[in-house]
Structure 1
Amino acid sequence: MKRKLLAITTAAVLGVQSVVLLTPQQASANFDQLVREETTKLSPGVTHSEKRYASEAVHVLKVDLNDSFTELDLNVPGHLQTTTNQAKAQHKEGHQVVGAVNAAFFNFSSGLPVNLIAMNNRLVNRGIIGSNANSPTHTRVAFGIGADGKGLVHGVSLGMSLKMDGASLEGTKMNGTRNEGDIVVYTPAVSTTGTNPWGVEVIVDGVGASVGNLPFGETATGTVEKITYNGEGGNATVPRGGFVISMHGKDAKDLLNGLKVGDEVSYTNTINNPWMNADYVMAAGPMLVDNGKVNITMNTSSSFAANRHPRTAVGVDKSGEHIYMVTVDGRQAGYSSGASLVDLAQYLISLGAYDAINLDGGGSTAMAIRPQGAFQPVLINSPSDGYERGVSATLQAISTAPTSTPETLVFEKEAEGGIVEGTSMNVSVTSAMDKYYNPVRLSASDVTYEVVGNIGEMEGSTFHATNEGTGKIIANAGNATGEVEVTVVSDYDELDGTTVPVEISSLDSSSGWSADQAKAKASVATSTAKKKQGSASLQLTYDFTGSEDGTKAAYAVATKPLEIKGQPEKIGMWVHGDGNTNWLRGVIVDRDGESHTIDFTARDKFTWSGWKYVTANVPSSAILPLRFERIYVAQPTESLQAKGTVHFDQLEAIYSDSYTAPISFSDLTSSHWAYSNIQQLAQEKIINGFPDNSFRPEASITRAQAAIMLVREKGITPGGSTDFNDVSSSHYASKEIAAAVDAGLLNGRSETTFAPDAPLTRAELSALLVRAYNVGDDPAGTSFPDVPASHWAKGVISQLASADIVDGYPDGTFRPERATTRAEFSKLMISAIR
């Protein structure tokens, strides 16, 4: 009998979260296949969206500045601190940080931003600009909140206006190194000018205000205390209540126009008009979008711009009232590759950005959010370094809404897909939210449960299924409510579930496990170095080399035996062997407390090195419900008793005799848009991974690899030879290429060349699929502007498009000469077969 059970934890939050699962669709060059989108309201004015594309993982915070409870702040702590910790540090009642992203470029040594920062209409850091067009900050552009409370992305111009009797000067820099032609203003932020004697310096005192902290547009006036000319001074001391004007150049003395000791000099900090009286200004770069069009203010062919990296960006809509803060994860093969700046700009436009700017990215890219019902912000994206980097500044979306009474319950049940009559499951309210999405603390005693429909009864937070049917469990806490639908069936065969395994333990941590031993030494630990799935594995280290005689064993024991849902056929897990010869076993315990030993291997058959998926049969005599107690390694034979370390990952219950363990690739997760197609082809041994256990889904598939897959899938025996000059008999795919050509499935690129190691183009893929599978019936159907009637593949491309097997791009093009990725080939081959 096949028994199916789906046991995963789900959260039911009423009216505040939407999840959309989509078939792949086109959006832009690197955001062309949207696989999954989940949108969650974090506060009255802030929404978080997680978007999974074929090769990108994107997070978007949309901030509505029209909302009276919503603000967007700039936080500069003065030292390096992670985005999440910055958010937590500013998070408090009435000022809840519901979302944050890293922001400014920074200096690792000082921990401070390297570009311009202004806050409350005062200059905080004048900063630097890039030295050439390959620098992202070559052109000074910034994001900020203007005097009208709206978002701004605009160029920035700073000025230092100096006026004296008979002369006006414009400073070229502040507190920087004086070079030829410079007019440098030194403020009390530095003690001395650090200059040589070969210049003119005017020491001004009696200002009575800090020049460096002077609001934009305001003027400070002081009196000339001293003037030194070429060869007379240098390295002047800056008065605590004044400033020094330091000039270099042959005309420096003439610029003073007769200025003398005792004369007045006034100083004004200026900034261009869009930024006057702004809440804050933060320079970064380059500009990405200007007036709704892509406008990259740096060399777009530079590696910084053209390569795919993790990215952080911020954009504003045309009104300036809606802000888009975006992170794109990168440098993580099989999960997210990152984006070029052009792709990032196009993506921001697709979101609604009218103006946008790039922020610090790479290993700094990070986003934190306060999840629904949570009391603190948490990291939500996946930083490329594997950990969150400290940064100098963050943009923080703030909710000032007061906390009120709970209205919505975040409600969980431990099983989805049905429950069998006569069994039980736990339900719980994990948290509650008020009308402003603020979390509200609840104790278990605050919550009552009721069952609607004659399907069972509640005992505390435990649901006991008594009758077949469909109903609801409703949780109440004052005026707050949450509900979840439950289906009760009479037997496991009737569960509307799945034949995939159900997790017993991820084995991602040694917490909840202890070591035991028989005539041996043993220890357990968490291992992040060796893992098959998730973040870590359970490590068991054993030593059977002691002098005591007899069978020796090392155990990883669950501190609390783990619940096994229903009656599985087998228990499975991934095991990393150490090459020693041992016996791998486990123990499950049934309802009556009787222990049942199960064998993952026969005696002396645990001999492999590396990862392997193993299963153990569950005895039919075990009385439900079952619990998993321990995994162990044993060796009865003295000559084989050694010491070593093994690892376990993803312990699961299997409910189908026909289940086959998935083939695991290091760079391919189950969330990948082509995962099921790749798995099907891999299980049927049509496609393989690489020796390093990677699949490389975004790598181009070559013409030789396509020939191999075609021959395998069509059941054609490889053999023969070709007349192609570039396919020698020693080529790894020579026989498959010969067989595919003989069968009329593939052609050469000319009479004498096949180009076996060249990427397979989209046009060649279209021809291959039509020849091999005879799909589509309208060669005159769908057309694309870049596939003219004269194109050799026009007919087959139209034929596939009419059969909905291939699509074009958002701009209506097909791009027939673009290389086909291994993931694309897998998906389209399966689509054609079907």
Structure 2
Amino acid sequence: MSAAMLISVPLGASANTKTVTSYPVSSGVKYTQNTYSGSSYINHLAVDLGDPYTKIKMGVPSPLAKTAPTLTLANRDSKEGNRVVGAVNASFFDMKTGMPMYLLSQGNEIVNGGVISSSNSYYVSHPIAFGVTKDGKAEIDNFNLGIQVDVNGNTYQMTGLNRERQADETIIFTPQHVKNTTGSNEFGIELVVETDSAIKSTHYGQKTQGKVVQVRGYGEKAPIKIPSNGFVISVHGKKGLERFKSVNVGDAVSLNLSIDDKWKDSEFMMASGPMLVKDGKRHITMDTNNWRATARTARTAIAISKDKKQVHLVTVDSRSGYSNGMTLTQFANYLVSQGYDRALNFDGGGSTTMGIRNYGSNQVVLANRTSNASQRNISAIVEAVSTAPTGEPAIVSVSRSNIGDMLVGATADFKINHVLDAHYNPITTIASQAKTTSTKGTVEGTGLTYKAVKAGDDRIIVNYGAAKQSFPVKVVAEPAKLTVKSSATSVKPGGKINFTATPADAAGKPIIYNANQLTWSVTGEIGSVTANGIFTASKAGKGQVNATLGTKTIAVPVEVKSNATTNPTPNPTPPSGNEKPDVTKLFKDVPLSYAYATEIYYLRDQSVINGDIDGKFNPGDTLSREHAAVILSRAFNLEPTENAKHSFSDVPKSHRYYNEINAIANANIVGGHANGTFDPKGELTRSQMAMILVKAYKLEGESAKKFNDVSPQHGAYKQIHILANHGITTGNEKGKFMPGLPVNRAQFSAFLYRSMNL
């Protein structure tokens, strides 16, 4: 036991920690998610008790035996001036009765009496508690709960208060017990004591005197009611029976309840265990060889700093394919690596839950991934609370509907993500209160719409009250590039040619413009053109169809011949649903009637895919990882590179697709396996495809409807349902996605096409 308690953490443990995300949820509470050793996800809430608006509190169900999920209890307690901004599950509890198993108190009021195990194979074999003492500081330390009875000149220490009596125990029941009877079996005796007045509280420092009014003898089964003006002594075991066998009706009895001075008048305290860290070193107060300690599972703990002003709520997840959990020793080592002075274990496994307040809402939502699909009902939580009232706007977050160079005269929109006060409390937004300006006057706007008014490099400023956000903008008089394509170069009188124009900046990226800013005209009396670029020939002759955007005009020669035949040319612009591929260049095995013909020919015309030398596409062939790399490098216009940021042991420089695989790896679109290989010849599965497309196109938002063959434990669970949310996949008629099946060339073309044209 002592050896397990004194071994310190190995040097360098903190180097295994990598921060995934970190941000404040209130002025005194910060949320952080870490990975540890690359296999476990750990969530933190750092609570600064030195912040005047920050508190740590305890939350329990009402009634006490009615368990509830962590988030339910947190949101129940959250209100203006007492915003719960984070919470974790805390006390262990009896899953049959729902009652907490260990001591809980608020102020000096004893909420639950609790028990301490006599065996260090259990979590709580030492009386240790976390709480906030009367000076407002956090504490993790031993406690000494005194439950003493004086009778016939003798003083006896009771083993528990207001909980089920176990073997060889003597328990006190007061009117604050969750039931009005003791519920003790007949294998013991019970003494009913009444006082002169009602007992309305059970608290530390309480001294109660009365007389025995009833004795239920050994073997008697009649239930004993707890008097409103007294208490019951329930006795079991040889030692207890020997002590109380001579107590009779009329005998005077007194009950004294006490706690150490350190814990007296504390804001709250809750017993748990084992202790994990003491004085900055690992200090585990249970047998670390016991299965409870050696299991790699989800864990919850609370830790404090040496000055007792910083509290840290910590959870580690355990879910297949996501996070491996930790043994108790690993968990203690991690807590030591974070620099905590003391730490105490809370209930873990399926109970482990952390909730936080996200920006823009006062609702506490799940921060970790629970071991099961849903939260477990629990009996007590620890809450991080912000008492700051909602103030004036201090932080605004907006996002633009389009990003890129803006054409003079073009309009664009914002979306207000959230407005917060200085303490991160959300403020209800009114669109008309947003104001848009720019440093040099190139942009102006009101509400959520802004307009480019003159050319120049500038910075947009969005104000919401005193809160503001800014970002750069470039306004141009004309696009750097304007590409015009036509469905034919010559036509008969009465025939039609479809024209499309694609404006772009110098790097080839789309610019922001209004559809009505692109105008079409005809030079020469050969026909007319509509506002959407459809030319209708009227008489033979030569002329031009002109596309004008801003100050730039592009002219395309057109000849109208009485005997002309249509000469189709490729049209690489995103399809509207009416365009047809170049019929002179169809793949032999992909007729226009093929289910994915539109998608395949669109990607071909964009030079994203090619057929084989025999003129076939082979749509039903399984797609390999190396061919997926080639296709994606073309889709993102990635320059092949020989400078590899990622070196794969099975992709030497002599590999045919070495440069393309490097390009997508450098762009962080597709990675390798944990063993350092890329597996170029390996089949690309449907779930791998989902992960690639979600990462590549930065898609967000899961669909509410889930596939019945993709469990929450699946490694691509989130990504698959993000694809479904965007309509990129629908699954089959049986509601299945079939994540493990390989993707064929046609299916990948369809998924990529839909992702490119969202």
- Same-fold status (TM-score > 0.5): yes
Check whether the contact 1:406–1:434 (CA below 8 A) recurs between aligned residues.
yes
1:785-834: per-residue Cα shift (whole Å, max 9, x none)? xxxxxxxxxxxxxxxxxxxxxxxxxxxxxxxxxxxxxxxxxxxxxxxxxx
> CA distance change for structure 1 residues 81 and 166 in 2, over 3 Å: closer, same or farther?
closer
> CA distance change for structure 1 residues 313 and 425 in 2, over 3 Å: closer, same or farther?
farther
> CA distance change for structure 1 residues 207 and 64 in 2, over 3 Å: closer, same or farther?
farther
Alignment of 1:572-587 (within 5 A): none
1:271 alignment partner AA:
I
Tell me the equivalent position of 1:773: none
> CA distance change for structure 1 residues 407 and 184 in 2, over 3 Å: closer, same or farther?
closer
> CA distance change for structure 1 residues 652 and 412 in 2, over 3 Å: closer, same or farther?
farther
1:289 aligned to 2:270? no
1:451 alignment partner AA:
S
1:383 shift after superposition: 1.9
Q: Give 2:637's match in structure 1, choosing from 630, 653, 656.
A: 656
Tell me the equivalent position of 2:91: 104
Work out the CA distance in 1 between the residues paired with 2:168 and 2:93.
28
1:546-568: per-residue Cα shift (whole Å, max 9, x none)? xxxxxxxxxxxxxxxxxxxxxxx
> CA distance change for structure 1 residues 251 and 447 in 2, over 3 Å: closer, same or farther?
closer
Work out the CA distance in 1 between the residues paired with 2:233 and 2:378.
34
Work out the CA distance in 2 between the residues paired with 1:87 and 1:184.
32
1:72 aligned to 2:70? no
2:23 alignment partner AA:
T
> CA distance change for structure 1 residues 293 and 34 in 2, over 3 Å: closer, same or farther?
closer
Tell me the equivalent position of 2:672: 678
Q: SS at the partner of 2:324? A: coil
Taking structure 2 as the reference length, what is the TM-score of the superposition?
0.61
Tell me the equivalent position of 2:31: 48
Alignment of 1:309-458 (within 5 A): 309-333=297-321, 335-415=322-402, 418-419=404-405, 425-453=412-440, 458=445
Q: Give 1:57's match in structure 2, choosing from 41, 63, 74.
A: 41
Check whether the contact 1:102–1:393 (CA below 8 A) recurs between aligned residues.
yes
1:677 shift after superposition: 5.1
Check whether the contact 1:370–1:376 (CA below 8 A) recurs between aligned residues.
yes
Work out the CA distance in 1 between the residues paired with 2:16 and 2:594.
43
Q: SS at the partner of 1:348? A: helix
Work out the CA distance in 2 between the residues paired with 1:132 and 1:689.
54
Work out the CA distance in 1 between the residues paired with 2:405 and 2:27.
37
Report how many aligned residue pairs link the two structures: 539
> CA distance change for structure 1 residues 316 and 653 in 2, over 3 Å: closer, same or farther?
farther
Q: Which moved more, 1:311-320 or 1:174-183?
A: 174-183
1:244 alignment partner AA:
V
1:733-777: per-residue Cα shift (whole Å, max 9, x none)? xxxxxxxxxxxxxxxxxxxxxxxxxxxxxxxxxxxxxxxxxxxxx
1:480 aligned to 2:464? no
2:45 alignment partner AA:
L
Tell me the equivalent position of 2:194: 205
1:173 aligned to 2:165? no
Tell me the equivalent position of 2:138: 151
1:145 shift after superposition: 1.3
Tell me the equivalent position of 1:224: 212
Q: SS at the partner of 1:98? A: strand
Check whether the contact 2:83–2:362 (CA below 8 A) recurs between aligned residues.
no
Check whether the contact 2:138–2:310 (CA below 8 A) recurs between aligned residues.
yes
Work out the CA distance in 2 between the residues paired with 1:72 and 1:671.
45
1:308 aligned to 2:296? yes
1:483-521: per-residue Cα shift (whole Å, max 9, x none)? 1233568455745999xxxxxxxxxxxxxxxxxxxxxxx
Q: SS at the partner of 1:596? A: coil
Higher Cα Rg: structure 1 or 2? 2
Work out the CA distance in 1 between the residues paired with 2:279 and 2:97.
36
Alignment of 1:687-702 (within 5 A): none
Q: Give 1:95's match in structure 2, choosing from 59, 82, 85.
A: 82
> CA distance change for structure 1 residues 261 and 104 in 2, over 3 Å: closer, same or farther?
closer
> CA distance change for structure 1 residues 266 and 48 in 2, over 3 Å: closer, same or farther?
same
Work out the CA distance in 2 between the residues paired with 1:167 and 1:356.
39
Work out the CA distance in 2 between the residues paired with 1:91 and 1:346.
34
Which blocks of at least 5 consecutive residues in structure 2 are unaligned?
A: 1-8, 482-503, 511-570, 607-631, 649-663, 690-758
Alignment of 1:754-765 (within 5 A): none
Q: Give 1:183's match in structure 2, choosing from 170, 177, 185.
A: 170
> CA distance change for structure 1 residues 258 and 387 in 2, over 3 Å: closer, same or farther?
closer
Work out the CA distance in 1 between the residues paired with 2:120 and 2:288.
9
Work out the CA distance in 2 between the residues paired with 1:159 and 1:673.
65
Check whether the contact 1:59–1:326 (CA below 8 A) recurs between aligned residues.
yes
> CA distance change for structure 1 residues 451 and 265 in 2, over 3 Å: closer, same or farther?
same
Q: SS at the partner of 1:409? A: strand
1:585-621: per-residue Cα shift (whole Å, max 9, x none)? xx99969x6733689993599899xxxxx86625879
Work out the CA distance in 2 between the residues paired with 1:104 and 1:468.
63
> CA distance change for structure 1 residues 496 and 161 in 2, over 3 Å: closer, same or farther?
farther
1:295 alignment partner AA:
H
Taking structure 1 as the reference length, what is the TM-score of the superposition?
0.56
Identity of aligned residues (%): 30
Alignment of 1:495-534 (within 5 A): 495=507
Work out the CA distance in 2 between the residues paired with 1:354 and 1:151.
12
Check whether the contact 1:31–1:56 (CA below 8 A) recurs between aligned residues.
no
Tell me the equivalent position of 1:38: 21
1:293 shift after superposition: 1.3
1:229 shift after superposition: 5.9
> CA distance change for structure 1 residues 177 and 110 in 2, over 3 Å: closer, same or farther?
closer
1:295 shift after superposition: 0.8
Q: SS at the partner of 1:382? A: coil
1:64 shift after superposition: 1.1
Check whether the contact 1:412–1:429 (CA below 8 A) recurs between aligned residues.
yes
Check whether the contact 2:198–2:228 (CA below 8 A) recurs between aligned residues.
no
2:396 alignment partner AA:
L
> CA distance change for structure 1 residues 440 and 210 in 2, over 3 Å: closer, same or farther?
same
Work out the CA distance in 2 between the residues paired with 1:677 and 1:51.
21
1:355 shift after superposition: 1.1
1:323 shift after superposition: 0.4
> CA distance change for structure 1 residues 680 and 161 in 2, over 3 Å: closer, same or farther?
closer
1:40 alignment partner AA:
Y
